[in-house]
Structure 1
Amino acid sequence: MTLAREMALESEYVMGTFARKPVEFVEGHGMTLIDDAGNEYLDFLSGIGVCSLGHCHPSIVQAVSDQAAKLIHVSNYYYIEHRGEVAQLLSNMLNAYVDEPSPETWKTFFANSGAEANECAIKLARLYARRRTEAAGKDAELAPRLIVTLAKSFHGRTLATLAATAQPAKQEAFQPLPGGFTATPINDVEALERLFETQGDRICAVMIECIQGESGVHPCTEEFVCAIRRLTEEHGALMICDEVQSGIFRTGLPYGFQNFGVLPDIVTMAKGIASGIVAGACAAKSSIAAAFAPGDHGTTFGGSNIAMAAAHVTLSTLLAPGMGAQIESVGAYMRERLARLPHVQEVRGYGLMNGIDLTHEAPSAPDVVAAGLEAGLVLNATGPHTLRFLPPLICTEADVDVLVQKLEQLL
């Protein structure tokens, strides 16, 4: 079907929640996307950080095809292949940098998206606080319920995750939103300490992205992340890391929080976990996950056969020796090359999660994205002057060279 026909159909029958770019992608392989006219594009967005192994990786295609021919879905009422294996891999990845001989096992709830994973984390944090209050012989209604998030964060578009997303512009049209959330500025240790001084007995969790992605790749400082870990431990609250974008080797390490020398209590993930197949997950230390009993949470599609087959192959491939180091190396090379471009004011990032701010003399970021598409690049603007780069994790220095060469002309 041609682009013109698809645009006409979507205009009439699909809700207008996205301002789509004028291109119809019909095929892909590795770093390359192909449109309906046969034009090729080098992809530096990977479906918003989703296609970890690139487009149509042979191992993913094989695993999904084999599973679809064998069994597609039976629900979470039954055991299936791969679910336990994937959960074990995630637990090992979460404990990869724990300096203990027998670290606590992590348990996972499988969902379908990052927002769903974050909903699970929110419910678990509040339920865990309630269970602890009951165990102390107190009225469960006195349990702390407040969840602290960071200004300019992004945790999803369901009502609860939108309430956790501290961006008033995104929230205003959907008021009233669920209560029980408060925001604090990113990297302001003093403000965080004042919040705990005044409301510490009401706080059940602090939920953060160690590297804020939707705002244009803005990392927390290690001092700030460590302060969150210290204050939550001192007040009996949980630390939740939203790794939906920064997890699954996006930074070169299994999870973004591992760049900051902390171990949280609950970790959420999605995007790159299954290389383009719909999947999400919320993992918690076993002692915290034990707060959930059958019926407390659930999903029809989460952790189903095809998603688990794809996730198993994705994680196994990314865990191969040298893969993480390659991601870190290419990411560092990308930041070095981007920093030398004209009109680039600032470069930020870890691994293959990078952002740049353009000077006001440069074309606007959305204009660069539009011109990039004409030049055969798939780019992303997160603001008027900010570009974000989330290529497949198979990106090479040669791919970066093409990106920089074309960007130099566009800027």
Structure 2
Amino acid sequence: MTSPGGYRHGADSGVGGAFKRRFEDAFMANYGVPPVVLARGQGCRVWDVDGREYLDMIGGIAVSSLGHAHPALVEAVSAQVAKLAHTSNLFMHAPEVLLAERLRGLLGAPGRVFFANSGTEANECAYKIAVKYGKAEGRTYFVAAENGFHGRTIGALSLTGKASIRDQFGPFPIDVRFVPYGDADALKEAVTEECAAVFLEPTQGEAGVVPPPEGYFKAVREICDSTGALFVADEIQSAIGRTGHWFAHQNEGVLPDILTLAKGLGGGLPIGACIGFGRAGTVLEKGDHGSTFGGNPVACAAAMAVLDTIEREGLLEHARSVGARLADGIAAIDHPLLSGVRGRGLWLAALLTDAKAAEVQAAAQRAGFLVNAVQPDAVRLAPPLVINAAEVTSFVATFPAILAEVQA
């Protein structure tokens, strides 16, 4: 098969093959050896070091909100790094204040913000808020969802309900009780007045883009209100327009006590945010938490450019309409390996009838499309929010041949 640029994607040879061998020699084995060595990008397309072209349908795991080399992001980052790249947390700077105020405005609520460098760090901040709150209130345990994912640090991993990545690093410092995702009755039974916090994703990303049943988050809000537990919404992957709203919890019409953000916020620059509302916004006091690089001027300038561009270019509505085109196109494909599609906006999973997602990912790469085998039977799609209808159509048109290659 050939890529959108006409290249045939073959074996590990050329410059890319050499880099892979060097990578394997130089790096720890936790990532294995990534399959593609990327050199540059433009819009929703990227090129590897051997000149092969791909349509980026994963966007750096829902990070590259504006695609690659977007002029607004390039200009904002270049201008800021030429003025001031770092201050530490000993001094403030204008971009962090402007960004915090902008996020509060988009949320329509006076939350208090902590900036970090990543999603797991944002969740670590939320974790510390909940621990301190729990100790003050005599609350002794947490509740999270089976198959949920909140990060790789020990605090965030404590709340992650995936045994395959969690169990080998225990025991953990807190008591976490896991319940089935989307089961409001199970959650109600698990959350008592001794529960410090409930950590949930508005849609489970690493579990295979699994949305909750209708009304679930309203039930979560009611359960937390009735018991006094903090409701933490992990929107690391789902926020900043990914589902067609600024924040995925806005689909449900509820506001959590703590919101965590990262990924798409910086459009490729590393930034995370933990936002506490009401009592959750005042738990941390001077000296309780910190980050040397968190909220640095360059990352904050990038985030402001992302938010400005999403608003100026109407990318929320675009994510809804183009996402619907992508979902409908996949749903219309009749193939024995494909069982359906789920998700919202430009955050979808193509569901398979067999555990062949890795093979589909590899075949898609050979055809010139980058996708992600997020689960053995689910292929994640999270392209840049700027992807256009023609690019979506090209993927949908090629997907049956990709499936046929795997099936054969």
TM-score (norm 1): 0.91
Q: Aligned match of 1:40 in 39, 46, 53? A: 53
State whether residues 60 and 314 of structure 1, in contact with CA within 8 Å, keep that contact through their aligned partners in structure 2: yes
Calculate percent identity across the aligned residue pairs: 38
Question: Are 1:62 and 2:75 an aligned pair?
Answer: yes
How many Å separate the matches in 1 of 2:321 and 2:295?
32
Question: Are 1:353 and 2:347 an aligned pair?
Answer: yes
How many pairs does the alignment contain?
Answer: 388
State the secondary structure of the residue aligned to 2:31: coil
**Paired AA for residue 342 in structure 2:** R
Select between 72-81 and 27-36 the one with higher mean Cα deviation: 72-81
TM-score (norm 2): 0.92
Give the match for residue 191 of structure 1.
186
State whether residues 23 and 33 of structure 2, in contact with CA within 8 Å, keep that contact through their aligned partners in structure 1: no
How many Å separate the matches in 1 of 2:131 and 2:228?
12
Shift of 1:365: 1.2
State whether residues 126 and 258 of structure 2, in contact with CA within 8 Å, keep that contact through their aligned partners in structure 1: yes
Q: Aligned match of 1:169 in 160, 164, 169? A: 164
Gaps of 5+ in 2: 1-13, 404-408
Give the match for residue 298 of structure 1.
290
Q: Aligned match of 1:372 in 364, 370, 391? A: 364
How many Å separate the matches in 1 of 2:310 and 2:278?
25
Question: Are 1:322 and 2:318 an aligned pair?
Answer: no
Q: Aligned match of 1:125 in 124, 127, 130? A: 130
Q: State how 1:9-408 maps to structure 2 within 5 Å.
A: 9-95=22-108, 104-131=109-136, 133=137, 143-196=138-191, 200-320=192-312, 322-341=314-333, 342=335, 343-360=337-354, 364-408=356-400
**Paired AA for residue 266 in structure 2:** A
Inter-CA distance 321–52: structure 2 relative to 1 (3 Å threshold)? closer
How many Å separate the matches in 2 of 1:8 and 1:346?
37
State the secondary structure of the residue aligned to 2:196: strand
How many Å separate the matches in 1 of 2:81 and 2:313?
29
Shift of 1:368: 1.1
State the secondary structure of the residue aligned to 1:387: strand
Give the match for residue 138 of structure 1.
none
Shift of 1:261: 2.0
State the secondary structure of the residue aligned to 1:222: coil
Inter-CA distance 55–321: structure 2 relative to 1 (3 Å threshold)? closer
Inter-CA distance 12–20: structure 2 relative to 1 (3 Å threshold)? closer
How many Å separate the matches in 2 of 1:193 and 1:63?
46
Shift of 1:392: 0.3
How many Å separate the matches in 1 of 2:339 and 2:302?
39
**Paired AA for residue 161 in structure 1:** A
State whether residues 222 and 261 of structure 1, in contact with CA within 8 Å, keep that contact through their aligned partners in structure 2: no
Shift of 1:286: 4.6
State the secondary structure of the residue aligned to 2:178: strand
**Paired AA for residue 257 in structure 2:** D
Shift of 1:321: 6.2
State whether residues 41 and 373 of structure 1, in contact with CA within 8 Å, keep that contact through their aligned partners in structure 2: yes
**Paired AA for residue 402 in structure 2:** L
How many Å separate the matches in 1 of 2:101 and 2:213?
30
How many Å separate the matches in 1 of 2:75 and 2:44?
19
CA-based RMSD: 1.5
Inter-CA distance 145–315: structure 2 relative to 1 (3 Å threshold)? farther
State the secondary structure of the residue aligned to 2:401: helix
Deviation per residue, 1:132-161 (Å, 9 max, x gap)? x3xxxxxxxxx2132211111000011111
How many Å separate the matches in 1 of 2:158 and 2:40?
37
How many Å separate the matches in 2 of 1:145 and 1:93?
34
State the secondary structure of the residue aligned to 2:94: coil
Shift of 1:322: 2.8
Deviation per residue, 1:189-245 (Å, 9 max, x gap)? 22122223xxx1210111100100111100112322111100100111111100000
